[in-house]
């Protein structure tokens, strides 16, 4: 199974992401756009994992969810990753209580390390991926999309769950959904 941990942003944010992608798609028609259903912020990517490890993952992640209260994020602006003239990823920016998001991500990474999942060497950068380049050299049209995103504010989303997802052919299926402390 191809697994990752994430937080979800709810149906209202999915609707806003859908609308934004539909506005941006004509600007960058060759991009590989994400499916807005299941909009999420990845915390830790685990990669290929044997199904037999699911119970151990659940045991490691459950206490983490008890240590963190729900928090609110905003989605606004955007940018690109990759070479400045030929970026590879287009993303929407994340604001709001990013300290709470960062603390949750750090603890998830820490508890997964003893299970054989190495911590990422790069600093965690919260972002909502919108599109990836199909071209190995990147996609210069992402720069235009970035300008469109600069003035956008999609509103707030309350984060109430830590989720272990399985990625299956572009669909994300929750394998474990853990409410944060005090969440319904």
pLDDT digits (tens, 9 = 90+) for 52-70: 999 999 999 999 999 999 9
Of 163, 159, 167, 158, nearest to 178 by C-alpha is 163
Does residue 119 form part of some domain? Answer: yes
Domain containing residue 26:
2-179
Model confidence at 44: pLDDT above 90: yes
Assess if residue 124 is contained within a domain.
yes
Concatenated DSSP letters of the chain: -EEEEEEE-HHHHHHHHHHHHHHHTTTSTTSEEPPSTT-EEEEEEEEE--GGGHHHHHHHHHHHHHH---EEEEEEEEEEEEETTEEEEEEEEEEESHHHHHHHHHHHHHHHGGGT-PPPSSPP--EEEEEE-SSTT--THHHHHHHHHHT-EEEEEEE-EEEEEEEETTEEEEEEEEEPTT--
Catalytic residue among 40, 66, 86, 153: 40
Mean pLDDT over 71-86 rounds to 93
**Is it the case that residue 39 has pLDDT exceeding 90?**
no
100 occurs within a structural domain: yes
Average pLDDT for the chain: 93
Mean pLDDT of 101-116: 97
Domain with 154 in it: what CATH number? 3.90.1140.10
Domain contains 6: yes
Question: Is 184 inside any structural domain?
Answer: no
> Considering the entire predicted model, what is its pTM?
0.91
Mean pLDDT for the stretch of residues 15-31: 94
User: Is a pLDDT exceeding 80 seen at residue 81?
Assistant: yes
Q: Give the model's pLDDT for residue 169.
A: 78
Provide the number of structural domains found in the chain. 1
Tens digit of each residue's pLDDT (9 = 90 or more) over 124-150: 999 999 999 999 899 999 999 999 999
| Residue for token pair 């199909």 | 134
Share of the chain above pLDDT 90, in %: 84
Q: Is 127 a catalytic residue?
A: yes
Q: Exactly one of 66, 68, 88, 127 is catalytic; which is it?
A: 127
């Amino acid at each position: 199974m191809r697994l990752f941990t994430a937080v979800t942003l709810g149906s209202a944010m999915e609707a806003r992401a859908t609308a934004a992608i539909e506005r941006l798609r004509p600007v960058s028609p060759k991009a590989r756009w994400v499916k807005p259903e299941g909009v999420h912020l990845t915390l830790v990517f685990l990669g290929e994992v044997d199904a037999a490890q699911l119970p151990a993952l659940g045991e490691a992640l459950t206490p983490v969810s008890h240590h963190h209260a729900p928090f609110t994020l905003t989605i606004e602006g955007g940018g690109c990753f990759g070479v400045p003239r030929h970026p590879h990823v287009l993303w929407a920016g994340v604001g709001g209580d990013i300290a709470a998001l960062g603390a949750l991500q750090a603890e998830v990474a820490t508890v997964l390390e003893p299970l054989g999942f190495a911590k990422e060497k790069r600093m965690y950068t919260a972002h909502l991926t919108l599109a990836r380049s199909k071209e190995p050299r990147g996609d210069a049209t992402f720069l235009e999309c970035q300008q469109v995103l600069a003035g956008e504010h999609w509103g707030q989303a309350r984060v109430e769950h830590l989720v272990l997802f399985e990625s299956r052919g572009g669909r994300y299926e929750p394998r474990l959904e853990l409410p944060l402390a005090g969440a319904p």
